[in-house]
Every structure is written in C-alpha cells, then in structure tokens.
Structure 1
C-alpha cells in the first residue's frame, strides 16, 4: 500500500514538473530566449511566510552553512528540474522489488 502511495505521489509530482516545463517553454518562446523559473521564486510567490520559517528552521536546527551551500542552490534550480528529480526518486522508492 505504501509503495502505491509513493508511486501515486511521484506521478503527480512528475506531472507538475511537466507543467512547469511547458510554462517555461512558452515563456521562452515568447521572449526568444531561454527562461526558467527557479524553485525559490515559485515558493516565494505561493507562500512567502513558509519560506522564511523554513530558513529559520534550517539555520536553527542544522546550521547557516547548510542553508547557504545546500538549500540556496536548490532554491535557485529550475522548478521543473527539482520536481522531476523529486518525482523520479518517489517512483524509485515505490517501485516493486525485483523477484
């Protein structure tokens, strides 16, 4: 049952990655240059308070270098890439074991 849940969520996350890729593609065609939307910009536009709380949590629980060297590059990565990797990992976790 839990494998099904991982696969189900993984497919939805991959679908979100595809939508983000199409939106970036449309923006790129419209502006005649490659345009990508970073994860941090999307998160900030959807819920700015939760991003601030997440930063405080990471810096308080782990350390400031973890925020600077690990989280900030992920927040600067294109949304479709982050969602694609997350969806692929969820699908790999939920795959059926080899017989």
Structure 2
C-alpha cells in the first residue's frame, strides 16, 4: 500500500514538473530566449509565509551555512528540474522489486 502511495504521489509531482517544463518552454518561445522559473520564485508567489518559516527553521535548527549551501541552490534551480527529480525519486522508492 505504501509503495502505491509513493508511486501515486511521485507520478503527480512528475506531472507537475512536466507542466512547469511546458510553461517555461512557451515563455522561452515567446521571448526568443531560454526562460526558466526557479523553485524559490514559485514558492514565494504561492506562499511567502511558509518560505519565510522554512528559512527560519533551517537557520535556527541546523545552521545559516546549511541554508546558504544547500537550500539556496535548490531554490534557485528550475522548478521543472526539482519536481522531476523529486517525482522520479518517489517513483523509484515505490518501485516493485520484481519489475
């Protein structure tokens, strides 16, 4: 049951990554240059309070250096890459051993 849940959620996240890729592709064609939307920009646009809470959590629980070296590069990565990697990772976790 839990493997199904991992695969199900992974497939939806992967689909979201594909949608983000298509949107970036459309914007790139329209502007005649490569345009990517970073994860941090999308997160800030949808829920700025949770991004601020996440930053304060990481900086107080772990270290401000962890925020700068680990979280900031992920937040600057294109949304479709982050969602694609996360979706594939969840699908691999939920993968049946026999297949």
TM-score, normalized by length of structure 2?
0.98
Distance 1:68 1:15 in 2: 29
Correspondence for 1:9: 9
Structure 1 residue runs of 4+, over 4 Å off?
A: none
Number of the residue aligned with 1:61 = 61
Q: For structure 2, which runs of at least 5 residues remain unmatched after alignment?
A: none
Task: Identify the residue that residue 81 of structure 2 maps to in structure 1.
Answer: 81
What SS does the aligned partner of 2:28 have?
helix
Q: TM-score, normalized by length of structure 1? A: 0.98
